[in-house]
């Protein structure tokens, strides 16, 4: 565990060096979050206007409970997957482009990153459809195996999610740099992993663990606030607002760090040369390999 924490901290510092030199790049994950919330609100509004509140209530309750119910649940879920996938991919593509500029010694700009993403809009749209379809199918399969196998089914479902995440790890850089279609991008992503790191079992080692350590102080406040029944309502509102803001900021920063590192790992995997700001040893050990 300590090795993973050390590796994750190294990844955070290496990627953070890019954000430190170009702090405006953190706007891209912020834009992504805001755009995703706005688009989901629009989708929810259309669904509510067209069919009433019941489908939204069904979706928000539990997919498992309604997996054999109305097809509208699947339609709404697919739209949600599609919207979130498109927004995330578009702004990740913009950030990858900016990171590649920074690694190449150029000065990245938010406008330049967005322009690069717009140039790949057909590829991003096609990939979003594929990602949404696979995401929905995985959800359905996971629900089925959990019902049939219980804990073992949940474990198998998690492994399927992890496998898809690993295989598609470099899809966004491939879309940005090579302009490949979605199927070719998945094959290319898997090929980079296999040729450079072998049969990979995991993504950037330790970064998620380090982010959890940053989340931990805020999470420890939850039981404190829960048991502090005598807190004034105004104080409770402030605490909750600070709690949510802190989690959001940490999430956005680590999402940016992960995307920047992914761009550096893509360069290393395709050229054999690490960006000057990232230790080659860190890139070599970034993925677990089968034994």
| Residue-level pLDDT at 65 | 47
Q: Are 289 and 198 in contact (CB under 8 A)?
A: yes
**Does position 57 have pLDDT exceeding 60, yes or no?**
no
Specify if 180 maps to a domain: yes
| Residue-level pLDDT at 133 | 94
**Does position 32 have pLDDT exceeding 80, yes or no?**
yes
Q: What element of type H or E holds 19?
A: helix 2-21
Task: Report the interhelical angle of 207-227 vs 2-21 (nearest 10°).
Answer: 100
Specify if 266 maps to a domain: yes
> Rounded mean pLDDT of the chain?
81
> Which pLDDT band holds residue 142 (cuts at 50, 70, 90)?
confident
Work out how many domains the chain is built from and give that number: 1
Average pLDDT over residues 36-45: 80
| Residue-level pLDDT at 198 | 66
| Residue-level pLDDT at 52 | 55
**Does position 174 have pLDDT exceeding 70, yes or no?**
yes
**Residues across the chain:** 291
Average pLDDT over residues 79-90: 92
> Which pLDDT band holds residue 76 (cuts at 50, 70, 90)?
confident
DSSP bridge pairs for 200: 289
| Residue-level pLDDT at 6 | 75
**Does position 244 have pLDDT exceeding 80, yes or no?**
yes
> Which pLDDT band holds residue 48 (cuts at 50, 70, 90)?
low
| Residue-level pLDDT at 39 | 83
**Does position 203 have pLDDT exceeding 50, yes or no?**
no
Share of the chain above pLDDT 70, in %: 81
Specify if 40 maps to a domain: yes
> Which residue has 């960006």 as its token pair?
275
**Does position 62 have pLDDT exceeding 50, yes or no?**
no
Task: Report which of residues 163 and 108 the model is more confident about.
Answer: 108
Instruction: Please give the model's pTM, rounded to 2 decimal places.
Output: 0.82
Average pLDDT over residues 27-35: 93
Specify if 289 maps to a domain: no
Give the chain's radius of gyration (CA, Å).
20
| Residue-level pLDDT at 64 | 47
| Residue-level pLDDT at 173 | 96
> Which pLDDT band holds residue 172 (cuts at 50, 70, 90)?
very high
Specify if 248 maps to a domain: yes
Specify if 265 maps to a domain: yes
Let me know the angle formed at the C-alpha of 204 by 174 and 144, rounded to the nearest 5 degrees: 85
Rounded to whole angstroms, the Cα distance separating 108 from 227 reads 47
> Which pLDDT band holds residue 1 (cuts at 50, 70, 90)?
low
Q: Residue 179 carries which DSSP code?
A: -
Q: Are 101 and 112 in contact (CB under 8 A)?
A: yes
* Tokens matching residue 37: 């919330």
Select from 134, 133, 144 the least CA-distant residue to 67. Answer: 144
At 182, give phi and psi (nearest 5°).
-65, -45
Domain span at 172: 2-284
Specify if 290 maps to a domain: no
**Does position 7 have pLDDT exceeding 90, yes or no?**
no
Q: Residue 23 carries which DSSP code?
A: G
């Amino acid at each position: 565990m300590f090795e993973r924490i050390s590796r994750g901290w190294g990844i955070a510092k290496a990627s953070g060096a890019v954000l430190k030199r170009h702090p405006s790049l953190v706007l891209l994950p912020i834009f992504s979050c805001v755009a995703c919330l706005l688009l989901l609100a629009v989708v929810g509004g259309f669904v509510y206007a067209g069919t009433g509140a019941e489908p939204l209530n069904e979706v928000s309750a539990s997919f498992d409970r309604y997996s054999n119910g109305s097809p509208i649940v699947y339609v709404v879920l697919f739209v949600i997957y599609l919207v979130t996938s498109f927004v995330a991919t578009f702004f990740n593509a913009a950030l990858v482009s900016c990171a590649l500029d920074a690694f190449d010694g150029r000065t990245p700009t938010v406008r330049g990153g967005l322009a690069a993403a717009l140039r790949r809009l057909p590829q991003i749209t096609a990939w979003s459809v594929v990602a949404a379809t696979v995401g929905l199918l995985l959800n359905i399969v996971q629900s089925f195996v959990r019902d049939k196998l219980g804990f073992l089914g949940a474990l198998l479902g998690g492994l399927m999610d992890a496998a898809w995440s690993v295989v598609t790890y470099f899809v966004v850089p491939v879309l940005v740099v090579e302009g490949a279609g979605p199927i070719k991008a998945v094959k290319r992503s898997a090929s980079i992993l296999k040729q450079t790191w072998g049969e990979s079992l995991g993504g950037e080692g330790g970064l998620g663990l380090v982010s959890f350590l940053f989340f931990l102080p805020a999470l420890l406040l939850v039981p404190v606030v829960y048991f502090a029944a005598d807190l004034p309502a105004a104080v409770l509102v402030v605490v909750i607002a600070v709690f949510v803001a802190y989690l959001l900021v940490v999430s956005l920063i680590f999402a940016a760090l992960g995307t920047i590192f992914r761009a550096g790992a893509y360069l290393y995997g395709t050229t054999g040369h690490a960006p000057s700001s990232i230790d080659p040893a860190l890139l070599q050990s970034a993925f677990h390999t089968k034994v």
